[in-house]
Amino acid sequence: MKRPLHRKIGFVVIILIIIIPMIFPFLWMFLSSFKTQVDIISWPPKFIFSPTLINFNKVFNEQNFLLYLKNSTIVGVLSVGFSLLLGLPAAYSIARFSQKRLSVLILVARLMPGISFLMPWYIVFSRLGLMDSYTALVLSHILIALPVVVWIMSSYFEGVPREMEESAMVDGATMQRAFVSIILPLSVPGIVTSTTLSFIFSWNNFMFSQVLSMEKTRTLPIAVYNFMSYAEVDWGGVMAAAVAIMTPAIILTMIFQKYVVKGLTMGAVKG
């Protein structure tokens, strides 16, 4: 496709105008994570400075971030895993048998303010001796991940032609077999989408982890606050921690982004 030069330039300029305000905070965060406290507060801001790794050293050596990284990963993977295990069949059933009320019910669980769950959970988990355990966190994070899975996947399954499984059943497969062998492989883009999104929601969740986790199971979003103490904020540490937290999420999104877009639009136009 050939375009005249001035239109190309115009296109680039417009893209830059849109992108710069979005990129700028990230750039600022990224640069600040390599600055000393003095450089961070200096005015006018310094864009050329001698970079330091002191902040990352604090994040990974003084603050035990690897433990928090491990905790977030365990909680994220397990809660998304269980959500897929429960959510995929549920979504399929909702799509096939038009169980609208059920799907609304699941959505309501997501719409309710999270804090209303916390008190009952705290009571239950502390009576069961599950405080500071992955079980409590995983169970609570399923509440975040499951509705995402069900909602994305039920509209996705509706888009899969019914003839596909009918022909499988004509060949003697049970409905379950058709679901596992025909529908699921066809729905990989949707599954990837819902997995990515629900993982990120779990990764970023603050409120549940704050109350239900303790020192051993503390997750990353809580740990950022380790750099904020009474009457003192270690901005360099906060920035470095934010970079460390965002990097896995960004990489994950970049790898799967083509699926995400496809998965989100798939249910929109039913073929």
Nearest-approach distance from CB 8 to another protein, in angstroms: 40
Measured from the CB atom, the residue of 177 and 262 that comes closer to another protein is: 177
Measured from the CB atom, the residue of 19 and 214 that comes closer to another protein is: 214
CA distances 192 to 28, 113, 166, 248, 252, Å, are 31, 27, 25, 16, 11
Nearest-approach distance from CB 7 to another protein, in angstroms: 40
33 CA to centre of own chain: 23
**Residue given tokens 């799509």 in the structure block:** 95
Burial of 2 (0-12, 13-18, 19+ CB in 10 A): exposed
Burial of 41 (0-12, 13-18, 19+ CB in 10 A): exposed
User: Please, what is the end-to-end C-alpha distance for the chain in angstroms?
Assistant: 30
Measured from the CB atom, the residue of 42 and 265 that comes closer to another protein is: 42
DSSP 36-77: -HHHHH-SSPPSS-----HHHHIIIIIS-HHHHHHHHHHHHH
Nearest-approach distance from CB 120 to another protein, in angstroms: 8
Asked if 72 and 203 touch (Cβ cutoff 8 Å), the reply is yes
Measured from the CB atom, the residue of 42 and 257 that comes closer to another protein is: 42
Nearest-approach distance from CB 134 to another protein, in angstroms: 6
Burial of 248 (0-12, 13-18, 19+ CB in 10 A): middle
Asked if 94 and 154 touch (Cβ cutoff 8 Å), the reply is yes
Measured from the CB atom, the residue of 164 and 228 that comes closer to another protein is: 228
Measured from the CB atom, the residue of 33 and 256 that comes closer to another protein is: 33
Nearest-approach distance from CB 210 to another protein, in angstroms: 6
Nearest-approach distance from CB 256 to another protein, in angstroms: 24
Cα(101)–Cα(109) distance, integer angstroms: 13
Measured from the CB atom, the residue of 18 and 119 that comes closer to another protein is: 119
User: Which region holds residue 113: left if phi is over 0, alpha if psi is between -120 and 50, else beta?
Assistant: beta
Nearest-approach distance from CB 138 to another protein, in angstroms: 6
Q: Which two tokens stand for residue 227?
A: 């750099």
Residues that bind another protein (CB under 8 A): 36-38, 40-43, 78, 81-82, 85-86, 89, 118-119, 122-123, 126-127, 131, 133-135, 138, 174, 176-177, 180, 210-211, 214-215, 222, 225-226, 228-233
